[in-house]
Structure 1
Amino acid sequence: MTDHNSSSKPKFTLDEFFDYTSFLSLTLALDNDQTILIQILHRAVKDFALLENGRKDVILLGQLNTEIQIYTQRSAYDPLIKLTGWNETHENLVTTCVESKSTITFIHSSFGAPPEIYCINTIDQLNSAKKVTKENKLFTERNLPKGISYRWINKDDETEIESVLLYPPNKHQEKNLPLLVLMHGEPYSADLNTFRTDWFYIAGMMATEYWLVFQPNYRGSTSYGDEFLHGILEVLIARPGKDVLFGVDALVQDGIADPERLAIGGYSYGGHLTNWLITQTTRFNAALTGAGAVEHVNSWGLADLALYRTYKLGGFPWQVSNRYQQVSPIFQFDKFRTPTYIAVDENDYRVPTSQAYLLKRSLHVLGIPSKLIVFPGEGHILKTIHGMRKLK
């Protein structure tokens, strides 16, 4: 069974290109070595485990839009069953069986509920799961941001896009708020109804600084179907970028966001999008870009996932040079007007550090305010405490 963990567990097609899918998962009937497809899934499978109940049921976590919910399957021949119970986000399934007594544990969180471990003995007890930790009790005593799902239409092709919209404390559903567009990376990922405080997830922190944080699940995000997932192929930046801009338009038109107070940012693929979007519009007052590319031929040659980029752009640089140029902001730097803060890791193997230097020099030549911070000794993922604190 695949959990679709993006580039850390790649799947290959016969032509040796990457083959990502949010639909299909496999089960293996161990009694006869026959591989059987689970029913078509319009969601990404995030985790799974076996239920030790004599029948060997499978329990899995499936992403459905902005939530990760629990499903079961009695056998490889039976349909998936979505369990009724808590919504929001479940993580880290663990099942055990000692002396015929089974236990199921998982982590659950949502916008307003920090992650804790919950425990049940049988899967039909999901509604009454017992909280067994209080590690994040402090957060429950604070006035936290509140989140909603927000949807709009990309008017170029009438595709509906969904996002997570996080309101500042005491500002829920208020109008004319300062807006921070914060874009997830990979791009085969999604922003969820969950509570996170790790180093690269700054949405909650920024909301407490009284920003309305807009996290779009643009084209390429998981759990919206294969057509949506593969919608970035050959238009790696432009199509998801348009998804984002139409979302900003909708928030302004609905009176939710203040058009005079807009900022944008993202890390990794979110940084790619940031760099491209600030060549397409001057509406943003400031930008924060982390590990973002500006010239994709350079990235193809120096980054660790050359095949990945070749697949998404539909060929090598000498085969489809126009596509590499179209997604590379450096060829449109004359349109830059946005003050930009650039963060990069010194030994980044996924987005070469040279990309940040290209961006910084260009902004300097153009006379646009900018600042560059380089984290010494770090790869694509920050690991030192001082680096994480500095980034935040």
Structure 2
Amino acid sequence: MHKSSTIYRIDFDFNDLSLPVEKQIIRNVSTLIGQLLYTSFQEKLIFTSVTTLMENSDGFEIYSIDLRNTSTLSKLTNNEAIEFELQLSIDGQHVLFRTLSLNSNKGKLNNTQFRLHSLNLINRQITRLAENFRGNINGYAFKHNSSIYILGQFGTEVQIYTQHLPIKDLIQHNGWNGTYESIVLSHDNESIAFVYSSFEKPMEVYFINNINQLKLAQAITNENNLFTQRNLPQTKVYSWINKDDHQTIEGILHYPPGKFESKNLPLLVMIHGGPYSASLNKLDFAWYQWSSLAASEGWLVLEPNYRGSTGYSDEFLNEIRYKPVSRPGKDILYGIDQLIQDGIVDQYKLAIGGHSYGGFLTNWLITQTKRFNAALSGAGAIDHTSMWGMTDMPVLIDYLFGGFPWEVPYIYQNETPIYQLDRVRTPTHIVTGENDIRVPTSQSYIFERGLNYLGIPVKLITFPKQGHSLTNNP
């Protein structure tokens, strides 16, 4: 369904907010608007277009409206990507934005990690920033002197870097190991605020007067102090080799409290979604992130950063293409094998689970091995052909599989769990949102029906009024 937006100007009297406001229409645009900025430079509005059905990248671009002639609508980008997180430069002459690749199988480019770009509003030239950084760009903030702070993810770490334009190389600042995010700064001085977390420290807001004080930063919030009073799991990064192609894979191990480096532990594999995401060095208690809780119940938890994860190069991310579940699945299985070989894990006490793409891989892996005692599938696809036909993001499916179902039917069949469901022996718990359109709820219904027909113990919970994210999860 074609959707449009109306941009209004609303004038307030800030001396008396009780007075009626004046509202006038600037113009209508034939797209949904994601983000809207005003720049006094050339008197323009800058906005991103978005679409609710992601069949290609055409619906995601940046436009400008000249307020001196509002009939003029200019398209400023033509990327095969989603542009988001727009910020104006201090002088208002540039717009910075991050991109998430959204190439189709017909595109000439491969998908990449999240990138950062600068759009010159004078000549409309787009420049990629942090071009030499091989990791993922998680965020950024302008400095007042034509420099930019960049939050760069490399492996399981997210650190703060500076790029002094026009120099391409980044300078990494000497901070703590862990994850920095949500960085903001004052343009009147060099003071900086950010959120920081690590395996040992829960998320809090920190403040420093300048970047040289990064290791001396003090928390200015105490929202998660409760977790500092608990005996939390100890965590470390663990790496192994996929013996099929000798690629090094790493993940995060969460040990039960008081059992760090212990042997012969029961294992729960918790697989992140995305696939363009990663498990990081942070203490996270989001609804989908309960590794610490599981470890506190006695499990050793492995979070694998399989092929397709961010933070390990664009090449690593794209090695998932054409083998969207079998290759990352092998990455995970070899990690389990290594944990058993190292004596860390009891091979007879294994469980697996994940949400979204983590559910995709869970569904796949229980068709490939009978070693798991239990599985938790959250919003996972079971039939990728019907998934392509019903999801709101078909462009990702046809890219990962290398074509439409009728173009590469052998890949869809070879990489789809439903055609190998008779191999499953693992009791499975399925959860989904009633209104999920990213991974349609019907995928979980098909999965449950198939396991029931096969006599495999299965339970399905459908969360009412929930979509892909179970944000009201009780």
1:75 aligned to which of 165, 176, 183: 165
2:469 aligned to which of 351, 364, 381: 381
- Contact 1:11 1:18 (C-alpha < 8 Å) held by counterparts: no
- Contact 2:323 2:415 (C-alpha < 8 Å) held by counterparts: yes
- Contact 1:4 1:45 (C-alpha < 8 Å) held by counterparts: no
Larger helix proportion of the pair: 1
The amino acid across from 1:72 in the alignment is: T
- Contact 1:36 1:77 (C-alpha < 8 Å) held by counterparts: no
C-alpha distance 242-21 of structure 1, shift in aligned 2 (>3 A): same
Alpha-carbon shift at residue 172 of structure 1 (Å): 0.4
Query: CA–CA distance in 1 between the matches of 2:277 and 2:153?
Result: 10
Alpha-carbon shift at residue 354 of structure 1 (Å): 1.1
Q: Deviations over 1:75-100 (max 9, x none)?
A: 13252101112121111011123xx3
2:139 aligned to which of 44, 47, 51: 47
Alpha-carbon shift at residue 130 of structure 1 (Å): 1.8
TM (norm. structure 1) is 0.92
Alpha-carbon shift at residue 313 of structure 1 (Å): 0.7
User: 1:317 maps to what in 2?
Assistant: 405
Say which SS state the counterpart of residue 334 (structure 1) adopts. Answer: helix
Say which SS state the counterpart of residue 134 (structure 2) adopts. Answer: coil
Instruction: Say whether 1:275 aligns with 2:363.
Output: yes
1:61 aligned to which of 127, 145, 151: 151
The amino acid across from 1:163 in the alignment is: G
The amino acid across from 1:369 in the alignment is: P
Query: CA–CA distance in 2 between the matches of 1:13 and 1:370?
Result: 37
1:106 aligned to which of 189, 194, 201: 194
Alpha-carbon shift at residue 36 of structure 1 (Å): 3.8
Alpha-carbon shift at residue 32 of structure 1 (Å): 7.2
User: 2:213 maps to what in 1?
Assistant: 125
TM (norm. structure 2) is 0.77
Instruction: Say whether 1:88 aligns with 2:178.
Output: yes
Query: CA–CA distance in 1 between the matches of 2:263 and 2:222?
Result: 35
The amino acid across from 2:435 in the alignment is: N
Query: CA–CA distance in 1 between the matches of 2:371 and 2:126?
Result: 52
C-alpha distance 84-3 of structure 1, shift in aligned 2 (>3 A): farther
User: 1:304 maps to what in 2?
Assistant: 392
- Contact 1:150 1:162 (C-alpha < 8 Å) held by counterparts: yes
Say which SS state the counterpart of residue 172 (structure 1) adopts. Answer: coil
Larger Rg: 2
Aligned-pair Cα RMSD in Å: 2.2
Instruction: Say whether 1:265 aligns with 2:353.
Output: yes
User: 1:234 maps to what in 2?
Assistant: 322
The amino acid across from 2:117 in the alignment is: L
Larger strand proportion of the pair: 2
How many correspondences in the alignment?
A: 381
Query: CA–CA distance in 2 between the matches of 1:3 and 1:310?
Result: 17
- Contact 1:105 1:119 (C-alpha < 8 Å) held by counterparts: yes
1:162 aligned to which of 250, 258, 278: 250
- Contact 2:354 2:378 (C-alpha < 8 Å) held by counterparts: yes
Alpha-carbon shift at residue 27 of structure 1 (Å): 3.8
1:206 aligned to which of 291, 294, 302: 294
Say which SS state the counterpart of residue 101 (structure 1) adopts. Answer: coil
Say which SS state the counterpart of residue 316 (structure 2) adopts. Answer: helix
Query: CA–CA distance in 1 between the matches of 2:82 and 2:202?
Result: 24
Say which SS state the counterpart of residue 162 (structure 2) adopts. Answer: strand
Query: CA–CA distance in 2 between the matches of 1:299 and 1:18?
Result: 24
Tell me the percent identity.
Answer: 49
- Contact 1:108 1:117 (C-alpha < 8 Å) held by counterparts: yes
Instruction: Say whether 1:184 aligns with 2:272.
Output: yes
C-alpha distance 172-12 of structure 1, shift in aligned 2 (>3 A): closer
Alpha-carbon shift at residue 223 of structure 1 (Å): 1.0
* Unaligned ranges ≥5, structure 1: none
Alpha-carbon shift at residue 25 of structure 1 (Å): 3.7
Q: Deviations over 1:137-196 (max 9, x none)?
A: 111111011110000000000000000111110010000000000100010000011011
Query: CA–CA distance in 2 between the matches of 1:5 and 1:166?
Result: 33
Say which SS state the counterpart of residue 431 (structure 2) adopts. Answer: strand
* Unaligned ranges ≥5, structure 2: 1-78, 86-97
Say which SS state the counterpart of residue 113 (structure 1) adopts. Answer: coil
